[in-house]
């Protein structure tokens, strides 16, 4: 069913680079002082890849994601999506934030329609897809609820569904389930993995959780702080579809300990 | 009250009527003649469509007439003196009340019979900037007393409940204010007062029709017509009390809810506007009394020399009184 | 519509303790106050000119309510209040919209706003009467002046309180400036605007009354003045009670409207 | 003390853009308004009895500021305002404390509070003058009446806004009722109380002025009335400007006090 | 150093039961309806044990903790601490919440003094311990800071220090670091483990994180929902002091998978 709603624009996921970041620097000005937040970032994300950005608070993960999404402007360097330099937000990129930010005065349905309205798209046609999207995130029948009638986890599911409404090729997710408790979060993570895998979307996920990153990603970009830079670009090599059985593997433990070591967690 | 819209009959032929706005210092009974003139169609008969607007206090009337936003007003004339002092050209063409609108009273049980006995006492006034203060000072001076040293002046407002309460609490021994404010006191069954005002102060001008100077020079006939209607209405009311009562009751139901109080008010104000010397006609201007008033204000409120001849205009009075036949 | 019905249902189910003891006690207190008041006045402990008894006052209230002139005066006061409120609210909201969307304007006007806000508006009553005469205009202007700022300030704050995440979301969905305003900023500001309107409406009534005190041909304020002048204190008290009831009704009305329109803040 | 110094330092470092363009534009606008006003009055487009020119008004302002009688009147108005404010604030805070700590009292009084709050206090001015006479008392009572509710309501809300977690914490630390109140509820309510006081102070000034309008032998309101009567409009305008400056200063003072006392809400 | 500040009241940690819960039931009334929240809870916690309560949201973990702390009253059953029935909060129990709830108008020092003030204790003496406690939680020199000058993690450390001020025998911790990001949380967890181990305190910790529970606890009480009940009382058998090297062990993976299975997390 996923494949019907979220058709991949290319038939096969090719191996070429979809997001290319070269010599990227980002500096913020505050109180007249310059602060370097990202230094010399070089990355290539392939179509269909599931990438996690992992690093301590303040290392610039959100900043990097916003740069890729065209929400803020870079200082120097280049960011290209499908060989086009990113200047402004583009519609083939979908963004999702830590908070669900649903509009409280709109029903679930009206919230889902919002991106179509803003893009002056075909609303009637979009409405037809709502039912399928809601069942995809496990909330069929909630069309006419208001956000404050839903739990935090349900709100995040709606937020995910809204991101999928425009069927973007690339999903940029900034700690999308960070505000939820661990059990709810893991369930949503598995839904997300399903959707990404089956529709062949490229996913860049910012997370604080090492186990989450290892469980879900094809690649993990481990970042350091002051200024934000890349510590290691790790390939996570498990077969798909993933199950939590990999927790019991030697490889999993090695990945975990290696990243903990890189980030200086535990003892 | 219903000042503006109560005359339905005027609207049909308002095309040939001259529209004017007239501002009154008080509303309802104290200026009954204006409403009677309107209700009886005296304005219309003169070819006027008069809109009556009313407010609280003479200074607003003087202000508006002086500034020319409204050209004709009816007001307590003491407020005029300050305008004349500033050489603002507002003229008085008709003196309505010929007896003094101010009074100086004590309670009957106080036993005070003359102004001289007020030495060491407290006299209540509406407020210290008010028009009656020079009058009170002048009356006191006439009796050889000096305000502030011999007698204390204390502001207590013009609201009858406050005046009554002040007398009861002994906050004041005497009160000076407009007859307008005092009428409701007179009506109190358990309040008997004595007036201390000396004879020579009784002809002081109190209320008059005032006109913006420029307007008067260019439209004397409109002013004449207006004043004539007022004179006619005053005459009508003096002779037809019951009809007047009914007219006023229709226009100001809220002031006539309690008919006893209303009767007392209307009687008082009709009395106050009845000429002392009917042979001189309505609106007669006693120039000597005006001069006395200006002299009283001298030094206290006014600083410049005022030639009252510049501001008093009796020339229209003959035409104004030309309505009986 | 769901949210509203849910919350309405919640309101409809009070604790089924037949009649609540607090209400009984409140009623008792009311009765006690009335009796004390009646005794004070009946035994002339307080002069009837200072405080007429409750029976007399209630009698006058019905007398007034039966008099046709009462309604024409009430109409005038309500008209002044509502016209002042409507104009003041429209001015303040429109001006706030302009000022927020042109940042430089906001910065330039800000010192003036701070100063004008501090002006005790009632002190302007004599000036307004001078400028606009004794008719309705002066009272409406007074009402506008007195109720302009609460709504203006609240609208500005409301429009500026749109959170960064929502703005980023709209940006990421490539929203036009117009959509950002209509579909995000304005609805976000609505609860703030309503809070301002709530304060304003009572202020507008105060503005109209103060204006009428300064002199008027019609209106409840004029009636209070007239009856005070005629020493009919029972009617003065009756009018003040009626005025308070009107103020309460206006407040309840706008609160109801608030709940209906800004329904999503219900459950907060 | 650390938090205060930090935030003060932050305030002390404005952007070093020599003079900011907005201020210049604000000043320009002010000059433009003054020139327009002067022209309107100089060329008699508006009569000086309605609106005297700014030069004259500023002249009168200094004339007033040089006159000893001005200060005695200012003193009276300030005394009425501050006495009314102080008494009203103390009453309202104490009553709020009592009402919150005796829940049944709160429930019984609540209907009365809602109704009394709706009463347009300025309509009571004539009654207060009757009750308390023409002296300071009536104005102080007016100020009390008008500034009672903002602080009362805010104190109640503030005392009730102590969050459940903090209460649990105090409970788990075996706190006495007195400590719970003094060390948790009261400090939690302080920012709310101050917000109420801020509104009150301006209201108290309005109460005093309205009281003086109804009649007074001293005070700025009385001066306005007197000069209005004497057709000295320049002085009326000058007084209103002075009054606004006083209102602004009072507001800034209480805001400063707020920042000093409730320092911990600074960074919010 | 820990031993000096937080002396264990008994010299050796005995093996007897310190907290005894028998046939505990808890029902809440809401809108006139009774709702059973805890059903037939039976537990024995030994002195010096580190116990985690793990379970889905709403299963009554906080309710159970508050019952133990005497903050709310039970419906039926018995809760005893050191053979005394719990009726009110007692001073040998220290409570710590998800939010730091520091008083913003008090400096760090004044916040730490608060429990002593409330217990009418010796303030002068208490002040002498502040320096050591602050260095224990890694915040020496912060005595005169106000809470809003500290980061979330630092505030939680102060909250922990405050709980330790009265040197309670038992620590009841309700998701104490739940609001923090994962890295900060783990570091605090290790500090907490240190303190608990060295001072021999009994710790009952409510948590949502399976890995955290396995890493830290001697015992995990896994709870189910509707009504709250005990699914399993697991002994976690690693040697002390713990390090994160246990992640690489077979036993760790088994514990993880078993609990995930119990709670129905993942797939
Ligand atoms: N608009 C801005 N102006 C100035 N500095 C900023 C701005 N946005 C972010 N920064 C700074 O850039 C750095 C990186 O911020 P960013 O939000 O990207 O971190 P992060 O890795 O997402 O952190 P977290 O995990 O806490 O979300 C921080 O030091 C932050 O203070
Ligand atoms: N004071 C109360 N009145 C009524 N019901 C309550 C009360 N406190 C808690 N409950 C209910 O008891 C149940 C258990 O609540 P509790 O807070 O103990 O759960 P929890 O396991 O701590 O959940 P979480 O992980 O979300 O903190 C919930 O259904 C809650 O709604
Ligand atoms: Mg971030
Ligand atoms: Mg809980």
The verdict on a CB contact (< 8 Å) between C230 and B184 is yes
The verdict on a CB contact (< 8 Å) between B159 and C232 is no
Q: For residues C36, C38, C44 and C46, what is the CA-based torsion angle, rounded to 10 degrees?
A: 60
Eight-class DSSP state of C135: S
- Please name every residue paired with A80 in a beta bridge, in sequence order, or none if there are none: A20, A85
pLDDT bucket at B76, cuts 50 / 70 / 90 = confident
Task: Give A92's Cβ-side CA count (13 Å radius).
Answer: 15
Q: How far is the C-alpha of D216 from the C-alpha of D129, rounded, in Å?
A: 9
C172 touches chain A (CB under 8 A): yes
The answer to whether B305 and B295 are in contact (CB under 8 A) is no
The pLDDT tens digits of the residues spanning B190-215 come to 788 888 888 777 777 888 999 999 99
- At CA C101, angle to CA C95 and CA C106, rounded to 5? 65
Q: How far is the C-alpha of A83 from the C-alpha of A79, rounded, in Å?
A: 9
- Answer yes or no: is the C-beta of E226 below 6 A from any ligand 2 atom: no
The structure tokens 């503030």 sit at D158
CATH no. for E2-10+18-92+168-263: 3.40.50.300
Q: How far is the C-alpha of C221 from the C-alpha of D17, rounded, in Å?
A: 53
- Hey, which residues 12-41 in chain C have their CB within 8 Å of chain E? 13, 15-16
**Complex ipTM, two decimals?**
0.81
The answer to whether A244 and E267 are in contact (CB under 8 A) is yes
| Most E CBs within 10 Å, among D173, D176, D188, D262, to test the E interface | D173
| Neighboring chain E residues of A209 at a CB cutoff of 8 Å | 182
- Hey, which residues 126-155 in chain D have their CB within 8 Å of chain C? 126-127, 130-131
Q: Which of B226, B298, B250 is nearest to B39 (CA)?
A: B250
Pocket test for ligand 1, best of A29, A31, A38, A60 (most atoms within 8 A of CB): A60
The answer to whether C266 and C10 are in contact (CB under 8 A) is no
Q: What is the pTM of this model?
A: 0.83
Position B9 scores a pLDDT of: 38
A57 CA: distance to closest CA in chain E (Å): 8
The answer to whether B191 and D254 are in contact (CB under 8 A) is no
For the segment(s) D64-261, the CATH number from 3.40.1160.10, 3.40.50.11540, 1.10.3720.10, 3.40.1180.10 is 1.10.3720.10
B143 CA: distance to closest CA in chain C (Å): 31
- Answer yes or no: is the C-beta of E224 below 6 A from any ligand 2 atom: no
Position E4 scores a pLDDT of: 58
**Per-residue burial over D229-238, b = 16 or more CB atoms within 10 Å of its CB, e = otherwise:** bbbbbbbbbb
Q: Write phi, then psi, for A90 (nearest 5 degrees).
A: -120, 155
| Neighboring chain C residues of E32 at a CB cutoff of 8 Å | 15-16
- Please name every residue paired with E80 in a beta bridge, in sequence order, or none if there are none: E20, E85
| Neighboring chain A residues of D12 at a CB cutoff of 8 Å | none
Q: Collect all residues with Cβ–Cβ distance below 8 Å to B56 and sequence separation of at least 6.
A: B25, B26, C214, C215, C225
User: Structure tokens of C15?
Assistant: 């604790």
| Neighboring chain E residues of D183 at a CB cutoff of 8 Å | 103, 114, 117-118
Q: Collect all residues with Cβ–Cβ distance below 8 Å to C75 and sequence separation of at least 6.
A: none
Q: For atom 28 of ligand 2, which residue has the closest CA?
A: E58
Q: Which of B125, B319, B69 is nearest to C131 (CA)?
A: B69
Position E2 scores a pLDDT of: 53
Which part of chain E has CATH 3.40.50.300?
2-10+18-92+168-263
The pLDDT tens digits of the residues spanning E158-186 come to 999 999 999 999 999 998 887 777 888 88
Distances (CA, A) of C169 to A97, A178, A251, C164: 8, 17, 38, 9
C174 CA: distance to closest CA in chain D (Å): 31
Query: Which of D47, D134, D226 minimises the CB distance to B156?
Result: D134
Query: Which of C49, C118, C131 minimises the CB distance to D248?
Result: C118
Taking the CA of residue A55 as reference, the ligand 1 atom at the shortest distance is 21
Query: Which of D47, D226, D230 minimises the CB distance to B68?
Result: D47
| Most D CBs within 10 Å, among E69, E90, E114, to test the D interface | E114
The verdict on a CB contact (< 8 Å) between D227 and B155 is no
Q: For atom 8 of ligand 1, which residue has the closest CA?
A: A63
In three-state secondary structure terms, E81 is strand
| Neighboring chain D residues of E176 at a CB cutoff of 8 Å | none
How much distance in Å is there from the Cα of A74 to the middle of ligand 1?
A: 14
Pocket test for ligand 2, best of E26, E27, E28, E75 (most atoms within 8 A of CB): E28
Q: How far is the C-alpha of D159 from the C-alpha of D196, rounded, in Å?
A: 13
Q: Collect all residues with Cβ–Cβ distance below 8 Å to D126 and sequence separation of at least 6.
A: B159, C224, C225, C228, C236, D214
Q: Collect all residues with Cβ–Cβ distance below 8 Å to D250 and sequence separation of at least 6.
A: D81, D201, D202, D205
Position D1 scores a pLDDT of: 27
Q: Which of B61, D206, D114 is nearest to C209 (CA)?
A: D206
In three-state secondary structure terms, E145 is coil
Q: Collect all residues with Cβ–Cβ distance below 8 Å to D55 and sequence separation of at least 6.
A: D38
SS3 content of chain E, % helix, strand, coil (to 5): 35, 25, 35
Mean pLDDT of chain D: 85
- At CA E57, angle to CA E55 and CA E63, rounded to 5? 80
Closest A-chain CA to E211: A211
- Answer yes or no: is the C-beta of A60 below 6 A from any ligand 1 atom: yes
User: Structure tokens of C106?
Assistant: 């906001």
Task: Give C88's Cβ-side CA count (13 Å radius).
Answer: 34
| Neighboring chain B residues of C235 at a CB cutoff of 8 Å | 257
Q: How far is the C-alpha of E192 from the C-alpha of E175, rounded, in Å?
A: 13
Q: Which of B56, B2, B11 is nearest to B34 (CA)?
A: B2
The pLDDT tens digits of the residues spanning B34-63 come to 999 999 999 999 999 999 887 667 778 888
Q: Which of D97, D149, D155 is nearest to D120 (CA)?
A: D149
User: Phi/psi class of residue A52: alpha, beta or left (left: φ > 0; alpha: ψ in -120 to 50)?
Assistant: beta
**Percent residues over pLDDT 90 in chain E:** 59
The pLDDT tens digits of the residues spanning C179-230 come to 999 999 999 999 999 989 988 998 899 888 888 887 777 899 889 888 877 7
The pLDDT tens digits of the residues spanning C231-262 come to 788 899 999 999 999 989 998 899 899 989 99
pLDDT of D14 strictly over 70: no
- Hey, which residues 63-82 in chain B have their CB within 8 Å of chain D? 63, 66-69, 79, 82
Position E265 scores a pLDDT of: 78
Q: Collect all residues with Cβ–Cβ distance below 8 Å to B278 and sequence separation of at least 6.
A: none
Q: Relative to the alpha carbon of A97, which ligand is closest?
A: 3
A98 CA: distance to closest CA in chain D (Å): 22
The answer to whether C3 and C267 are in contact (CB under 8 A) is yes
pLDDT of A221 strictly over 90: yes
The answer to whether E80 and E86 are in contact (CB under 8 A) is yes
Mean pLDDT of chain C: 84
| Neighboring chain C residues of A63 at a CB cutoff of 8 Å | none
The pLDDT tens digits of the residues spanning E8-34 come to 444 444 567 899 999 999 999 877 788
Taking the CA of residue E60 as reference, the ligand 2 atom at the shortest distance is 18
- Let me know how many helices (H) and strands (E) chain C has, helices first: 12, 0
Name the residue ranges covered by the structural domains of chain D.
20-51, 64-261
- Residue A136 CA, chain-centre distance (Å), reads 17
Give me the total of CB pairs closer than 8 Å, taking one residue from chain D and one from chain E: 67
The verdict on a CB contact (< 8 Å) between E89 and D165 is no
Average pLDDT of span D201-218:
84
pLDDT bucket at D3, cuts 50 / 70 / 90 = very low
């Amino acid at each position: 069913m996923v494949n019907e709603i979220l058709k991949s624009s290319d038939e096969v996921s090719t191996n070429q680079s979809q997001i290319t970041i070269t010599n990227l620097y980002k500096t913020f000005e505050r109180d007249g002082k310059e602060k370097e937040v990202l230094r010399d970032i070089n990355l290539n994300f392939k179509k269909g890849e599931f990438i996690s950005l992992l690093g301590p608070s303040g290392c610039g993960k959100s900043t990097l994601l916003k740069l890729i999404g065209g929400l803020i402007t870079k200082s120097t360097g280049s960011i290209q999506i499908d060989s086009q330099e990113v200047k402004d937000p583009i519609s083939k990129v979908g963004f999702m934030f830590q908070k669900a930010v649903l509009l409280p005065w709109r029903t679930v349905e009206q919230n889902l329609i919002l991106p179509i309205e803003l893009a002056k798209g075909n609303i009637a046609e979009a409405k037809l897809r709502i039912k399928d999207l809601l069942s995809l995130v496990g909330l069929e029948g909630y069309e006419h609820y208001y956000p404050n009638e839903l739990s935090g986890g349900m709100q995040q599911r709606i937020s995910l569904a809204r991101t999928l409404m425009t069927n973007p090729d690339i999903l940029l997710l900034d700690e999308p389930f960070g505000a939820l408790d661990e059990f709810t979060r893991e369930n949503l993570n598995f839904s997300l993995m399903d959707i990404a895998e089956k529709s062949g979307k490229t996913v860049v996920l910012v997370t604080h959780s090492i186990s989450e990153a290892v469980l879900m990603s094809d690649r993990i970009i481990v970042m350091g702080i002051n200024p934000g830079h890349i510590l290691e670009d790790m390939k996570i090599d498990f077969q798909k579809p993933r199950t939590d059985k990999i927790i019991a593997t030697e490889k999993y433990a090695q990945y975990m300990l290696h990243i903990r070591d890189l980030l200086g967690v535990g003892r | 009250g219903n000042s503006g819209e109560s005359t339905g009959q005027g609207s049909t032929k308002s095309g040939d009527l001259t529209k004017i706005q007239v501002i009154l210092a008080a509303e309802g009974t104290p200026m009954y003649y204006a409403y009677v003139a309107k209700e009886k169609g005296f304005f219309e008969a003169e070819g006027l469509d008069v809109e009556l607007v009313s407010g609280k206090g003479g200074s607003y009337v003087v202000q508006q007439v002086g500034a020319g936003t409204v050209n004709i007003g009816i007001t307590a004339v003491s407020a005029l003196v300050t305008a004349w002092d500033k050489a603002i050209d507002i003229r008085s063409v008709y003196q309505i009340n010929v007896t003094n609108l101010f009074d100086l009273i004590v309670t009957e049980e106080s036993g005070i019979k003359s102004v001289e006995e007020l030495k060491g006492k407290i006299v209540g006034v509406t407020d210290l900037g008010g028009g009656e203060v020079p009058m009170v000072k002048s009356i006191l001076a006439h009796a050889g007393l000096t305000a502030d040293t011999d007698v204390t002046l204390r502001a207590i407002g013009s609201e009858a409940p406050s005046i009554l309460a002040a007398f009861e609490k002994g906050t004041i021994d005497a009160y000076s204010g407009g007859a307008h404010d005092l009428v409701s006191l007179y009506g109190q069954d358990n309040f008997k007062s004595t007036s201390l005002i000396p004879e020579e102060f009784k002809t002081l001008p109190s209320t008059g029709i005032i006109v913006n100077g420029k307007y008067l020079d260019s439209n004397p006939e409109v002013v004449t017509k207006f004043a004539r209607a007022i004179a006619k209405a005053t005459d009508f009311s003096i002779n037809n009390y019951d009809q007047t009562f009914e007219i006023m009751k229709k226009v100001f139901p809220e002031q006539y809810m309690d008919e006893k109080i209303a009767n007392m008010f209307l009687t008082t104000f009709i009395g106050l506007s009845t000429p002392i010397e009917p042979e001189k006609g309505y609106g007669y201007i006693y120039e000597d009394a005006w001069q006395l008033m200006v002299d009283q204000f001298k030094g206290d409120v006014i600083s410049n020399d005022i030639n009252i001849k510049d501001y008093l205009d009796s020339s229209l009075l003959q035409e104004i009184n030309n309505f009986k036949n | 519509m769901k949210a509203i019905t849910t919350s309405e249902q919640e309101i409809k189910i009070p604790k089924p303790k037949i009649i609540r003891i607090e209400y009984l006690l409140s009623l008792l207190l009311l009765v006690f106050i009335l009796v004390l008041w009646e005794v004070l006045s009946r035994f002339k402990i307080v002069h009837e000119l200072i405080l007429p008894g409750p029976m007399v006052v209630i009698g006058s209230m019905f007398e007034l309510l039966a008099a046709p002139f009462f309604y024409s005066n009430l109409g005038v006061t309500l008209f002044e209040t509502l016209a002042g409120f409507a104009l003041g609210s429209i001015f303040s909201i429109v001006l706030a919209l302009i000022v927020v969307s042109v940042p430089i304007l906001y910065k330039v006007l800000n010192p003036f706003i701070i100063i004008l806000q501090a002006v005790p508006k009632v002190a302007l009553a004599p000036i307004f009467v001078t400028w606009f005469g004794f008719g309705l205009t002066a009272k409406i202007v007074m009402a506008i002046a007195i109720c302009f700022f609460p709504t203006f300030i609240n609208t500005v704050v409301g429009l500026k309180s749109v959170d960064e995440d929502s703005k980023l979301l709209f940006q990421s969905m490539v929203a036009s400036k117009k959509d950002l305003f209509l579909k995000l900023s304005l609805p976000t500001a609505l609860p703030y605007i309503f809070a301002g309107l709530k304060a304003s409406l009572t202020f507008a009534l105060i503005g109209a009354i103060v204006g009428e005190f300064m002199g008027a041909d019609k209106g409840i304020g004029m009636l209070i003045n007239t009856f005070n002048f005629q020493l009919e204190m029972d009617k003065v008290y009756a009018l003040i009670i009626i005025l308070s009831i009107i103020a309460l009704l206006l407040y309840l009305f706008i609160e109801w409207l608030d709940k209906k329109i800004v329904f999503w803040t219900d459950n907060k």
